[in-house]
Every structure is written in C-alpha cells, then in structure tokens.
C-alpha cells in the first residue's frame, strides 16, 4: 500500500507555452467559473469567492523567458475574527513576475550570497510554460486578509461571572492589604 500523498491538481490552472507567444506578447482574461471559485475558497480556507477576474499579459523577454504583468480583482467571503460572522471583502492585486528557463536561474548554493538587483529573483519556467492560473491564485492569496475584520466590528471581552470592575492597581493594593504581617 502506498501512503505517499499525491500532489493535488491546482484548483485554477491554465498553462501557456512561452515559445507560442507572439513577440509583442499576449493578454489573457481569466474568469473562473463557480465550481473553480469554490475549489479555490476551500484551498484558501475561506467561506467563498463570489467574484474573481484577472487580466494577465505575457511578454517574451527575448532570451527564452517571459515577463508577466496584470491585475487580479475579486470578492472573497471570510469569517470575521471579532464577530465570527461571514462578510465580503474586496481583493485587488497587481501582478508582476519574471519567469526564465532553469539554466538562467542564479546558482543556489547553501550559505552563498545572491545579489538581487532592482528585480526580484525570477521564477523557473516549467516545461517551457507559465501556469497563469497558478499566478492568479498566488496573487489572489496575497490579497486575502489573514485576520479579517468586518467593517465596524469591535471585539468586546465578555465579563466574567461575578467579577467586579476593578483596575489592576486596586487589585494589587487589595492583595497587599490582605497579606499577613510578619513578626518583627
């Protein structure tokens, strides 16, 4: 029996082969259907994704790589950390990435320093392609608030039964008054 977990297929996947792109690039519109949005919500552990759309432009860099730019916009339904009520929140993220063939990636040795210029380190192309669905998913995830709070929500600590309103200093003074006096 094999207990090794299989890698799950991503909820949103759309591969584009870089060699098939026109020199001046190509723009893609990504609008996942309801079932895909539900799968993404489950993947991100949120209530739902009522709306999601993205525009992604792939432009070859002339050296086998591709620059990816665009915008992700949508609405996510999350559970408020203060009230535990579901609410909708907007997500809007700009996409900017650079993918290159693996042979153009800087060599990564343990303990070695890597100089990063104005651009971040590029991501590797996988089999000469970019999965724009995975890119959209990644930037959607970046836009999701990890501690969502419904607008106007205020968390109030419920009073303990039988507890009086008392400042910490008055409680300390009471403790000091109540402590037994030692013999001198």
- pLDDT tens, residue by residue, 157-181: 766 665 556 667 777 777 777 766 6
What percentage of the chain reaches a pLDDT higher than 90?
Answer: 55
Supply the pLDDT for residue 121: 80
Quote the pTM value.
Answer: 0.74
Which residue, among 22, 24, 51, 19, has the nearest Cα to 36 in the 3D structure?
51
Q: How confident is the model at residue 6 (pLDDT cuts 50, 70, 90)?
A: very low
pLDDT at 108: 64
Q: Are 95 and 72 in contact (CB under 8 A)?
A: yes
Q: Looking at residues 65-94, what average pLDDT do you find?
A: 95
Greatest CA span in the chain, whole angstroms? 94
């Amino acid at each position: 029996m094999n207990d090794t977990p299989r890698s799950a297929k991503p909820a949103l996947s759309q591969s584009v082969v870089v060699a098939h792109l026109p020199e001046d690039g190509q723009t893609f519109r990504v609008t996942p259907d309801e079932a895909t949005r539900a799968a993404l919500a489950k993947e991100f552990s949120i209530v739902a994704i009522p709306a999601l759309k993205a525009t992604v432009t792939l432009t070859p860099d002339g050296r086998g790589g591709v620059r990816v730019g665009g915008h992700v916009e949508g609405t996510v339904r999350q559970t408020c950390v203060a009230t535990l009520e579901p609410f909708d929140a907007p997500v809007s993220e700009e996409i900017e990435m650079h993918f290159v063939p693996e042979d153009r990636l800087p060599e990564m040795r343990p303990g070695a320093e890597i100089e990063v210029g104005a651009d971040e380190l590029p991501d590797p192309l996988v089999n000469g392609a970019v999965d724009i669905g995975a890119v959209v998913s990644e930037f959607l995830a970046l836009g999701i608030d990890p501690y969502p709070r419904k607008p106007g929500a205020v968390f109030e600590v419920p009073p303990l039964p039988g507890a009086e309103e008392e400042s910490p200093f008055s409680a300390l003074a009471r403790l000091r008054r109540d402590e037994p006096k030692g013999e001198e």
